[in-house]
Amino acid sequence: MKAAFLTEMGFEGKIPANHLNFRTEFCWMFTLGADHFNIHTYEKVKGYDIVFIIFPKAMVKLNAFGVEMTTTIPDKDISIYSKPIVEVLKQNNKKVCYIQEGPHWLFNEYDMATQFHFYNQLAECDILFAHNQSDVKFYKGLFPGKKIDVIPTLMIAPPLSEPSEKQNKAIIGGNFCRWYGGFQSYMVASTFECPIYVPSSHCKRPGEEQVPNLIHLPWVNWTQWMQQLSNFKYAVNLMPTVAAGTFSLNCAYWGIPCIGNRDMDTQQTLFPGLSVNVYDIKTAIDLADLIKDTTPYNNHSGHAREVLQSSYHFDQARWLAYIEKVINE
């Protein structure tokens, strides 16, 4: 199966096996042996069995009344939605598939014309791939009769050294903004009575450095991130933005029990007993208290590592067979 990917990224070509930043979209491309193109060069993409499109998402800018989308960043240019991308790709290739980027509701933040341009692009695709089963239900409502399925989040483990033992410290999934729900995660992680760490991202808020017992990790590539994560004992990710769920997946690799959003497939599959309604802070705190004890801690840790080894999320051959089945049905 000859495959191509179109995203906002500027490079052209294949993902090398020694890539240091194997995020899930790079894992997909590598496993498919796909060629990557910048989405603005869609007219040159010809002769492929399948073309996957990950449309760029504009950056969210907060204001007093809600949010608006910032569209002036070149690689976040959503004006491309108004161009005949899928139409042209279908003329020159066998099938065209959409892959969800971010939460399914994000396009609601666009202006009216762009919302309908986005919808029309998806309506023309042969297949829609969503992050989670909860997202599939959303798209099936908007596009009755269209082939819609989950594209499982995939992890290809880089060369990593196993830590000798877990250190008594907790990590939360993101910064103090609504997108990541860092405040709630921090409050739940405080139950562990140990140092709390958080990755630094573009969503980091001014003043986070003054939060007591919160240590910021520097922004690093994915391989470095996985090694950093390896010696944490606890994780909390009450992120209301349902997306690919890589944080839970990364924690499972190291057997770190992660309390997280039950609407993410990776969280529900790998940590079913630690999956909560993202706004049910009381239950999340109760679970944090529970896993401070050795037996429940080891049970959740062992379950995650065992399930991961045989799941779509970690088995490239199984993942590829699943995707080929969906495409060829």
| Percent of residues, the chain, with pLDDT higher than 90 | 75
pLDDT at res. 169: 98
d(CA 36, CA 303): 36
Q: Is the pLDDT of residue 170 over 60?
A: yes
Residue 220: inside a domain, yes or no?
yes
The stretches of the chain forming alpha helices (DSSP H) are 24-32, 85-92, 112-124, 133-142, 182-189, 222-229, 246-253, 265-270, 281-290, 294-309, 316-328
Residue type, 291: I
Residue type, 267: Q
pLDDT at res. 58: 65
Question: 181 with 198: CB under 8 angstroms?
Answer: no
pLDDT at res. 76: 53
Residue 94: inside a domain, yes or no?
yes
Q: Is the pLDDT of residue 66 over 60?
A: no
**Residue 300: closest CA among 228, 233, 225, 229:** 233
d(CA 36, CA 51): 10
Give me the half-sphere count of Cα atoms (radius 13 Å) on the Cβ side of residue 9.
Answer: 16
Lowest mean pLDDT among 69-73, 209-213, 269-273: 69-73
Q: What is the CATH number of the domain that holds 252?
A: 3.40.50.2000
Q: What is the mean pLDDT of residues 269-296?
A: 97
Which two three-digit tokens encode residue 58?
């504009």
Confidence of residue 71 (pLDDT cuts 50, 70, 90): very low
46: Cβ contacts below 8 Å, ≥ 6 apart: 92, 93
Please state whether beta strands 50-53 and 66-70 pair in parallel, antiparallel, or not at all (unpaired). Answer: unpaired
Same domain, 123 and 182: no
Q: What is the CATH number of the domain that holds 31?
A: 3.40.50
Element (H, E) at 217: strand 214-217
pLDDT at res. 80: 83
Please state whether beta strands 59-63 and 66-70 pair in parallel, antiparallel, or not at all (unpaired). Answer: antiparallel
Q: What is the mean pLDDT of residues 181-192?
A: 97
Same domain, 104 and 202: no
Which two three-digit tokens encode residue 229?
């994560």
d(CA 120, CA 116): 6
Q: What is the mean pLDDT of residues 152-160?
A: 88
Q: Is the pLDDT of residue 26 over 60?
A: yes
Same domain, 8 and 149: yes
**Residue 197: closest CA among 167, 177, 158:** 167
pLDDT at res. 77: 64
**Average pLDDT across the chain, whole number:** 91
Angle at 140 between CA 134 and CA 143, to 5 degrees: 145
Residue 91: inside a domain, yes or no?
yes
Same domain, 146 and 234: no
Same domain, 68 and 181: no
Q: What is the mean pLDDT of residues 40-56?
A: 96
Give the range of the structural domain holding residue 263, as residue numbers without chain letter: 170-309
Same domain, 141 and 184: no
Q: What is the mean pLDDT of residues 220-248?
A: 93
Q: What share of the chain is helix, strand, coil (3-state, %, to 5)?
A: 40, 20, 40
Predicted TM-score (pTM) of the model is 0.90
Q: Is the pLDDT of residue 63 over 50?
A: no
Confidence of residue 65 (pLDDT cuts 50, 70, 90): very low
How many structural domains comprise the chain? Answer: 2
Confidence of residue 70 (pLDDT cuts 50, 70, 90): low
Please measure the distance between the N-terminal and C-terminal CA atoms of the chain and give it in whole angstroms. 14
110: Cβ contacts below 8 Å, ≥ 6 apart: 58, 69, 78, 118
pLDDT at res. 160: 83
Residue 134: inside a domain, yes or no?
yes
Element (H, E) at 103: none
Q: What is the DSSP string of 257-322?
A: -EEEETTSHHHHHH-GGGEE-TT-HHHHHHHHHHTTSHHHHHHHHHHHHHHHHTSTTT-HHHHHHH
**Residue 284: closest CA among 213, 203, 185, 141:** 185
Confidence of residue 24 (pLDDT cuts 50, 70, 90): very high
Same domain, 297 and 225: yes
Residue 271: inside a domain, yes or no?
yes
Q: What is the mean pLDDT of residues 200-215?
A: 91
Same domain, 16 and 130: yes
pLDDT at res. 279: 94
Q: Which residue has the higher pLDDT, 310 or 4?
A: 4
pLDDT at res. 86: 97
pLDDT per position as a tens digit, 310-326: 898 999 999 999 999 99
Residue 288: inside a domain, yes or no?
yes
Residue 159: inside a domain, yes or no?
no
